Amino acid sequence: MKRNQYTYIERNKNHDDSFICRNCGAPVHSWAPGTSQRNHCPYCLHSLHVDITPGDRKELCRGIMEPIGLWVREDGDTALLHRCRKCGALRSNRLAGDDDDRALRTLAETALQAVESAGK
Ligand SMILES: [Zn+2]
Ligand SMILES: [Zn+2]
């Protein structure tokens, strides 16, 4: 399992799949520490609705996917939850090692504040 993942990263590094973030305009490199597939911007955490299954790029929607929450999986992995602004689809994406800590904190705090102001 670990070995397969490593091979995948190596392969992905040679295949340049870098993109410009549609939300904040930052140039994003395809290679990311801690994940085999860069699928969101490390600065603003937004993504694009391009995959039907992760990495296939077969989705035709191409809407901007907004980060709406954090998910700690049973195996201890942390993932971001994304919702497509265009079609409303929900996706989960593993966090990358260089995702911006402040952006992650802001996301968690925004949710917390919303809960508090709703009086729950
Ligand atoms: Zn961005
Ligand atoms: Zn969509």
Residue 84 CA to ligand 1 center (angstroms) comes to 15
Residue 70 CA to ligand 2 center (angstroms) comes to 19
Residue 25 CA to ligand 1 center (angstroms) comes to 6
DSSP calls for 53-100: STT----S--PEEEEEEEEE-TTS-EEEEEEETTT--EEEEEPPTTS-
Ligand nearest to the CA of 61: 2
Return the DSSP state at 36.
S
Residue 85 CA to ligand 1 center (angstroms) comes to 15
Residue 111 CA to ligand 2 center (angstroms) comes to 22
* Per-residue model confidence as pLDDT tens for the chain (120 residues): 445 554 444 444 455 678 899 999 999 987 888 776 788 999 999 999 998 987 788 999 999 999 999 999 999 889 999 999 999 999 998 899 999 999 999 999 998 998 999 886
